[in-house]
Amino acid sequence: MAPPTSVANAAPASASLPAPRRSSKLLIGVVLAVGLLAAAGAAAYVFLPRFTGAASTEAAKPPVPEKPIFVMLDPLTVNLQAEGRSRFLQIGMALRVRDEHAKAQIVEFMPELRSRLLVQLSNRAPESLVTPEDKARLAEEIRTALNAPLTPQTPELGISSVSFNIFVVQ
């Protein structure tokens, strides 16, 4: 009886032999799929930052400011509206303009612009030029006055700011 049991035991053992072959093929397929996915992930990690990272870093970079264009004005000395004694304002400034065309217009019309400045500054009281706020207000008023069109056909000059480099009240 022992031999038939061994034959009966041998049949299920031979039936289980093809199962490991199928599972080994499945295992090899899973390992290959995981390997391919890992390779694709590594390639994406290496190559995608070059394409998307460059665009995102360029977008994240602040814009490079343009080189400023300044027009230096010769210093002016102006009589101020003082009661009792003579008071003077000596002032030197630089005008920041938007482009070279505006700079050329300012240089071309400099006598008229200096005249505008003299008229505007001579109407000041010395007490109105003391604090930093007074000077900032004066700079804005000068910018507005000088920006006014020089002729009816021309647009405003494009002066963006006025900076003082000499400011003496005597």
Residues 91-146: tens digit of each pLDDT? 999 999 998 998 998 999 999 999 999 998 988 888 888 899 999 999 999 999 99
Question: Among 154, 157, 153, which Cα is nearest to 144's?
Answer: 157
- 22: containing domain: 2-60
Residue 4 has pLDDT above 60, yes or no: no
Q: Label residue 58 by pLDDT band (50, 70, 90).
A: low
Domain CATH code at residue 77: 3.30.1130
Residue 150 has pLDDT above 90, yes or no: no
* Shared domain check, 123 and 84: yes
Domain endpoint, select from 11, 34, 60: 60
* Shared domain check, 95 and 146: yes
* Shared domain check, 33 and 53: yes
* Shared domain check, 84 and 26: no
Structure-block tokens of residue 73:
């004005």
- Determine the average pLDDT of the residues in 61-82: 85
Per-residue pLDDT, 136: 94
- CA 106/CA 146 separation, integer angstroms: 9
